[in-house]
Amino acid sequence: MIEFELDGKTVQAKPGSTILEVALSEGKYIPHFCYHKKLSIAANCRMCLVEVEKARAPAPACATPVTEGMKVHTCSKLAVEAQKGVMEFLLINHPLDCPICDQGGECQLQDLAVGYGRGASRFEEAKRAVVDKDLGPLVKTTMTRCIHCSRCVRFSDEIAGYQELGMSYRNNHVEVMPFIGKTVDSELSGNIIDVCPVGALTSKPFRDVARSWELSRRKSIAPHDALGSNIQVHIDKYHKVVRVLPLENEALNECWLSDRDRFSYEGLYHAERATEPMIKQDGKWHKVDWETALTYAAKSINGVKIDHGADAIGVLASAISTSEELHLLQKMMRAFGVNNLDYRLEQQDFSLDGKTEGVSYLGSSVLDLIANKAVLVVGSVLREEHPLLTQRLRQASKRGMELHSINVMAQDLLAPVATEITLDPRELVYALAQVLQATLEITNKSSNVDLSQVIPNAKTQAIAASLVKNQGHVLLGRVARGLANYSELVLLANEIARVCDGKIGTLPSLANEVGAQLVGFTPYRAAFNGYFTKGLNARQMLENQRKAYVLLNTELEQDGYSSQLALAALNKAETVVVMSAYTNDDMLEYADVILPITPFSETAGSYVNLEGTWQKFNGVTRPLGEAKPAWKILRVIANKLGLDGFEYTSIEDVRAELSNLADTSSYLNNQANIDGLKIVPAQLNGLIRFGITGIYNSDSIIRRSHSLQQTPWAKLPTLALNAKLAKILGVVDSSEVQVKQAHAQRKFTVSVCDDLADSVVLLAKNSTTLSFAGSFDAIEVNA
Amino acid sequence: MAIFEKGVIFAGIDTNNPDCWRLDEYLKRGGYQALKRILNEKITPENVIAEMKTSGLRGRGGAGFPTGLKWSFMPRTMPGQKYIVCNTDEGEPGTFKDRDIIRFNPHAVIEGMIIAGYSIGASAGYNYIHGEIFELYQRFEAALAEARAANLLGTNIVGSGFDFELHAHHGYGAYICGDETALLNSIEGRKGQPRFKPPFPAGHGLYGKPTTINNTESLASVPYILRDGGQEFMDKGIPNNGGTKLFSISGHVERPGNYEIPLGTPFSKLLEMAGGMRGGKKMKAVIPGGSSAPVLPAEIMMQCNMDYDSIAKAGSMLGSGAVIVMDEDVCMVKALERLAYFYHEESCGQCTPCREGTGWLYQIIHRIENGLGRPDDLELLDSIGNQMTGRTICALAEAAVFPVRSFTKHFRAEFEYHIEHKKCLVDHRWY
């Protein structure tokens, strides 16, 4: 520690820290614009000039390291005079159009101008004007307001990973601009709105919607991935969510937010929001009151139980549901005699059910994950599944973490990747077995897995060496989870972690996958690693037709493994009770009762994120129309079914039963055990589909967020295959092909890309591929 | 054309000979003797640097920092790549000395850079050449090819075991790339804008490696110093101002051009060498060290000697040695307007005070020149200048402010007249 004097006070600081860092930590504010704690230091706005005794000139506090015995004056005559001088310069070419600026009221320039600006301007010349830039559907520009702090440029380069913005030209004609004809397409682009200290970059969807001082700010948790980013939701005076901003949480999202979490709020007010209870009679939908609808729902379920037994009922919920909702649904259904409960809608291999030690999760905290020196990600399209977690891995790999990837699609992580292997989904197990075999060879350890036919190659050996040397962390992503031999991947990953003394984890994709397991929303185990049960899993429930289905928070035909399978089962069922915030045409076809529930913004609830942290939130605004929080609906249905123990009067009563979530560590365990696993090289017969879940197709809210759907990410081609396969099929880029999978066929335009293996056809899950079969099932493509 | 007296760079060069720049001509003039002696006799880098210190050579780019001392800052024994960079990004209005060095004597720069590389432990060097003298970039490349063919560059130079490679790099004419850290950014392919210091280039320079940057003239003087001895060079000048220096004389003199003369030579003598004032006009003012140096009225300038200390004492600076002579027909408002426009145009736009201040200064001076001046404009200029100097990453803000301050100080009456009468005090003509 070194000692120096800050405004007459002796202060201790770590060597190498800057004056500004120390001042801010001492609670002393030094005005600044270009400095941002998460970005590199530019020292170009010059607003933070302070007086350093014996220095030739005022020094920029953001870039000047403190030294022993230094005497700093942050508000001496010289310092303030320098700061005021800079403020005058910043304002001379600024339009001062605060009354029509969206940043007004939350603008750093406006705030600091009050303290450092002149009452009247000495500048009487013509002001510079700058042409606005089109940065895409999310970020609106008013470049004349730009003060050239370069924060957005540094963000895109350093955090988003790819420099999409730059400073062009010189002198006061300097302009921040994207590449000519290009927009800012990063999945984290919205953060440049936050880092912009003025109104140059503002939110396009929020444009002219409200003044910041009219809004109420309420804390919540982002529901679109399992990171559980902390957010503040801004509500206007009509109780409408008008924007979402990050709430700082260093352990999770830092001060950032993915575009998905930031702009998804538009979907909350989509025309397809279910706002009234409806029942279908004689093929026609009737709007009814809640009492009628709930009674109807309860009677339907009860009727099926009486006629066919409780096992004829299947209950499927999306893991975007809150812990309270999932808890009540499983409690109600188990009390009713139903164990057919599942949230793993995208999974096809359930052979580990009952053979795991506990709840699967990331395997460590996020902070521990990024502190690893080696991480192997298996089967995850990282940027689309976890935009912000990828950002943290990106920073870590820039700092020296060895990042390896074994995947079915190559994706540029905009970060140094040590080893990248792109394979057919059927080959993933063999590749992971190669890694295991190589780790065994390095460590001279042995394994129960029969690897006699497994021969590592150079790449898998390199991964193994890195994992052994650094006690690495193996992660299984959403793609891995969808594969037919997921259980083998889990077992191999476990073995690798054991052999190299590292860790294993999964990358849950939806907000509450860990919570769903903890509260027992699985067919095989009750809450908190409780007693084992024998229910049907998500796939069995659809393959073995049930008489009744209860759906919570899911459009199963889009969220499930196989759209075809889901629609067939739901359409054939006697009764389908849907609790959903949205309706769609298919749902109106298969459902018999639609109970409009509220999305995360309109209900109190909680999520357990991928590292096992329980994060509670309150409803930030009123329910839309007659929609009600699902926990209230479930409570009443349970009453109507005559079940005991559902006399809750508040969310707190429900949460009281979930107090174990406060410390989840004893339940979290990724270990799984099976004996007699034998790995042989994969046989690739025919083509396999890769049904990718696009970043902006991941849940009902996102699919209805208008602006996100305008981004290039949402317009990625539905059908893609590599050049070699295209040649074999006799097709070229943008030719039309007939795609067939089970009973579904349809024409698509081919996009040829090199990111896929030879026998893989990427056919994304989206509205055009409804009625197609499983995400990783066989597929036919004909020219 | 270059005229010299006791010169070291231009000595013995017949500038009328179109092949005077070639390797064999340079060898005839005693070129590469110093390099060969150092390499063959294995003179240690310490001794080379000591010789440089003895010579008293001060950086010829403008700041006048002792070259030997600069070399000694390099962590030359530290393992890893290090670089020597030559700054031929001569962009200061009035300065045109380095291009004549490259034109007539490129091998002196190459030899100087090899010796510098040897002394600071660098195995690679770059010469960054101003974009607007592209034909000289081509000449330098041709000279490099000659040197490579003669095994004066590359691996195992003249059989000594020392490896050194040298690359020419041409910019695109931005003045700011003459700042050493902007120059490094430009070589790296980034936008040419200065870096915040610390870290200094000696620790974290080109591609993050220790780097020494010297001016072309400094490096071109090195072979002489190492061949004939530092003391010999020192003795050509006066104490604390060792050696000879190139002065680029432009403006209203009879024979504008480059003059290589000992430091300490009286300005009156230099003026005489340049043929005196053109057409016998009266001298009004002189900018003694490139356009960013404060202007000096004729009567002060005539008392000065051409060395760092004398000019500094008079309130200006020797800078790059670009002497701009103005006669009685020059309107100082018009002259300042032109300079202010240059600095506005060339500000990189990075730091707020310079980005906004240079433009504002120009707008006001432009207004005064065009008869729209206001009574408080001179005060405003002064105040803006104070808000710019010492507040930015590099020295361009100072370069923009010094002329404004000195013009309005020494020729205030002209500015006041201009504001009041909306026209020039003198019947202005450039010619």
A517: phi then psi, degrees, rounded to nearest 5:
-65, -40
Do residue A247 and residue A333 come from a single domain?
Answer: no
Partner residue facing B349 (CB), from A47, A88, A170 = A170
Continuous segment of H or E residues that includes residue A572:
helix A563-572
Between A and B, how many residue pairs show a Cβ–Cβ distance under 8 A?
A: 99
Burial class, A659, CB count within 10 angstroms (exposed 0-12 / middle 13-18 / buried 19+): exposed
Instruction: Give pLDDT, residue B1.
Output: 52
Do residue A342 and residue A385 come from a single domain?
Answer: no
Distance from CA of A58 to the nearest CA of B (A): 7
Nearest CA to B117 among B81, B145, B65, B146? Answer: B81
> Which token pair is A579?
């609790």
Q: Which of A451, A479, A506 is the last residue of a domain?
A: A506
User: Which amino acid belongs to residue A651?
Assistant: I
Cβ B393–A43 below 8 Å, yes or no? yes
Do residue A518 and residue A657 come from a single domain?
Answer: yes
> Which token pair is A104?
């007004």
What stretches in chain B show pLDDT beneath 50? none
A517 pLDDT band, cuts 50/70/90, is: very high
CATH number of the structural domain spanning residue A226: 2.20.25
Do residue A344 and residue A373 come from a single domain?
Answer: no
pLDDT at A491 over 60: yes
Instruction: Give pLDDT, residue A189.
Output: 97
Q: Domain containing A707: what range?
A: 688-782
pLDDT at A451 over 80: yes
Q: Are A409 and A690 in contact (CB under 8 A)?
A: yes
> Which token pair is A73?
């004056």
Q: Does B367 touch chain A (CB under 8 A)?
A: yes
Do residue A47 and residue A82 come from a single domain?
Answer: yes
Q: Are B322 and B291 in contact (CB under 8 A)?
A: yes
- Note whether residue A463 is domain-resident: yes
Do residue A627 and residue A723 come from a single domain?
Answer: no
pLDDT at A353 over 80: yes
Distance from CA of B379 to the nearest CA of A (A): 11
Nearest CA in chain B to A173: B349
What is the dihedral angle through the alpha carbons of B140, B146, B149, B154, rounded to the nearest 10 degrees? -30
CATH number of the structural domain spanning residue A451: 3.40.228.10
Instruction: Give pLDDT, residue B239.
Output: 87
Do residue A773 and residue A726 come from a single domain?
Answer: yes
Reported as a single tens digit per residue, the pLDDT across B375-427 is: 999 999 999 999 999 999 999 999 999 999 999 999 999 999 999 999 888 88
What would the mean pLDDT of A4-14 be, rounded to a whole number?
95
Partner residue facing B351 (CB), from A44, A57, A82 = A44
Q: Does B363 touch chain A (CB under 8 A)?
A: yes
Contacts of A20 in chain B (CB under 8 A): none
Q: Does B265 touch chain A (CB under 8 A)?
A: no
Burial class, A175, CB count within 10 angstroms (exposed 0-12 / middle 13-18 / buried 19+): middle
CATH number of the structural domain spanning residue A744: 2.40.40.20
Q: Does A7 touch chain B (CB under 8 A)?
A: no
Instruction: Give pLDDT, residue B253.
Output: 96
A773: phi then psi, degrees, rounded to nearest 5:
-85, -150
Kindly report which listed range (A223-227, A381-385, B14-18) carries the lowest average pLDDT score.
B14-18
Q: Does A121 touch chain B (CB under 8 A)?
A: no
Distance CA B316, CA B241 (A): 16
Nearest CA to A341 among A535, A616, A69, A593? Answer: A535
Distance from CA of A44 to the nearest CA of B (A): 4
Look up residue A26 and give its DSSP letter: T
Kindly report which listed range (A45-54, A145-154, B13-22) carries the lowest average pLDDT score.
B13-22
Contacts of A126 in chain B (CB under 8 A): 363
Distance CA A252, CA A407 (A): 25
Distance from CA of A45 to the nearest CA of B (A): 5
Distance CA B270, CA B325 (A): 12
Instruction: Give pLDDT, residue B2.
Output: 65
Do residue A475 and residue A393 come from a single domain?
Answer: yes
Mutation choice for B interface testing from A84, A163, A167, A172 by most B CBs within 10 A: A172
Query: Which residues 6+ apart lie within 8 Å of A450 measured at CB?
Result: A676, A677, A678, A679
Distance CA B118, CA B112 (A): 10
Distance CA A449, CA A366 (A): 30
Query: Which residues 6+ apart lie within 8 Å of B102 measured at CB?
Result: B88, B109, B129, B133, B136, B139, B140, B216
Q: What angle do CA A235, A237, A241 make, to 5 degrees?
A: 25
Going by their DSSP bridges, the two strands A744-752 and A719-721 should be labelled as: parallel
Q: Does B176 touch chain A (CB under 8 A)?
A: yes
Instruction: Give pLDDT, residue A386.
Output: 97
Distance CA A239, CA A115 (A): 34
Instruction: Give pLDDT, residue A436.
Output: 97
> Which token pair is A711?
């981004």
Do residue A519 and residue A657 come from a single domain?
Answer: yes
Burial class, A291, CB count within 10 angstroms (exposed 0-12 / middle 13-18 / buried 19+): exposed
Angle between helices B412-421 and B332-346 (to 10 degrees): 100
What would the mean pLDDT of A483-502 be, rounded to a whole number?
96
A89: phi then psi, degrees, rounded to nearest 5:
-65, -40
pLDDT at A400 over 70: yes
Nearest CA to A39 among A156, A141, A140? Answer: A156
* SS3 track for chain B: CEEECCCCCCCCCCCCCCCCCCHHHHHHCCCCHHHHHHHHCCCCHHHHHHHHHHHCCECCCCCCCEHHHHHHCCCCCCCCCCEEEEEECCCCCCCCHHHHHHHHCHHHHHHHHHHHHHHHCCCEEEEEECCCCHHHHHHHHHHHHHHHHCCCCECCHHHCCCCEEEEEEECCCCHHHHCHHHHHHHHCCCCCCCCCCCCCCCCCCHHHCCEEEEEHHHHHHHHHHHHHCHHHHHHHCECCECCEEEEEEEECECCCEEEEEECCEEHHHHHHHCCCEHHHCCEEEEEECECCCCCEEHHHHCCCEECHHHHHHCCCCCCCCEEEEEECCCCHHHHHHHHHHHHHHHCCCCCHHHHHHHHHHHHHHHHHHCCCCCCCHHHHHHHHHHHHCCCCCCCHHHHHHHHHHHHHHHCHHHHHHHHHHCCCCCCCCCC
Q: Does B395 touch chain A (CB under 8 A)?
A: no
Do residue A404 and residue A485 come from a single domain?
Answer: yes
Cβ B352–A46 below 8 Å, yes or no? yes
- Note whether residue A135 is domain-resident: no
Reported as a single tens digit per residue, the pLDDT across A692-744 is: 999 999 999 999 999 999 999 999 999 999 999 999 999 999 999 999 998 89
Q: What angle do CA A649, A654, A656 make, to 5 degrees?
A: 115
Instruction: Give pLDDT, residue B429.
Output: 73
Can you name the residues that pair with A57 across neighbouring β-strands? none
Cβ B357–A57 below 8 Å, yes or no? no
Q: Does A174 touch chain B (CB under 8 A)?
A: yes
- Note whether residue A232 is domain-resident: yes
What would the mean pLDDT of A251-268 be, rounded to a whole number?
97
- Note whether residue A481 is domain-resident: yes
Do residue A298 and residue A402 come from a single domain?
Answer: no
Q: Can the peptide bond before residue B198 be classed as cis, meaning omega within 30 degrees of 0?
A: yes
B78: phi then psi, degrees, rounded to nearest 5:
-65, 135
Q: Are B112 and B219 in contact (CB under 8 A)?
A: yes
- Note whether residue A192 is domain-resident: no
A653: phi then psi, degrees, rounded to nearest 5:
-60, -40
Cβ B355–A166 below 8 Å, yes or no? no
pTM: 0.94
CATH number of the structural domain spanning residue A577: 3.40.50.740
Partner residue facing B347 (CB), from A45, A63, A171 = A171
Partner residue facing B353 (CB), from A46, A65, A174 = A46
Partner residue facing A171 (CB), from B358, B367, B391 = B358
Q: Does B391 touch chain A (CB under 8 A)?
A: yes
Cβ B352–A88 below 8 Å, yes or no? no
Partner residue facing B349 (CB), from A46, A125, A148 = A148
Q: What angle do CA B218, B221, B226 make, to 5 degrees?
A: 125
- Note whether residue A561 is domain-resident: yes
The domain tally of chain A equals: 5
Q: What angle do CA B118, B11, B224 make, to 5 degrees?
A: 25
Q: Which of A489, A506, A523 is the last residue of a domain?
A: A506
Distance from CA of B407 to the nearest CA of A (A): 22
Distance CA A329, CA A344 (A): 15
Do residue A282 and residue A416 come from a single domain?
Answer: no
pLDDT at A313 over 90: yes
Cβ A92–B356 below 8 Å, yes or no? yes
What is the dihedral angle through the alpha carbons of A69, A75, A76, A81, rounded to the nearest 10 degrees? 130
Instruction: Tell me what percent of the residues of chain A surpass a pLDDT of 70.
Output: 100
CATH number of the structural domain spanning residue A83: 3.10.20.740
- Note whether residue A669 is domain-resident: no
ipTM, two decimals, is: 0.93
- Note whether residue A384 is domain-resident: yes
Q: Which of A455, A489, A506 is the last residue of a domain?
A: A506
Q: Are A674 and A491 in contact (CB under 8 A)?
A: yes
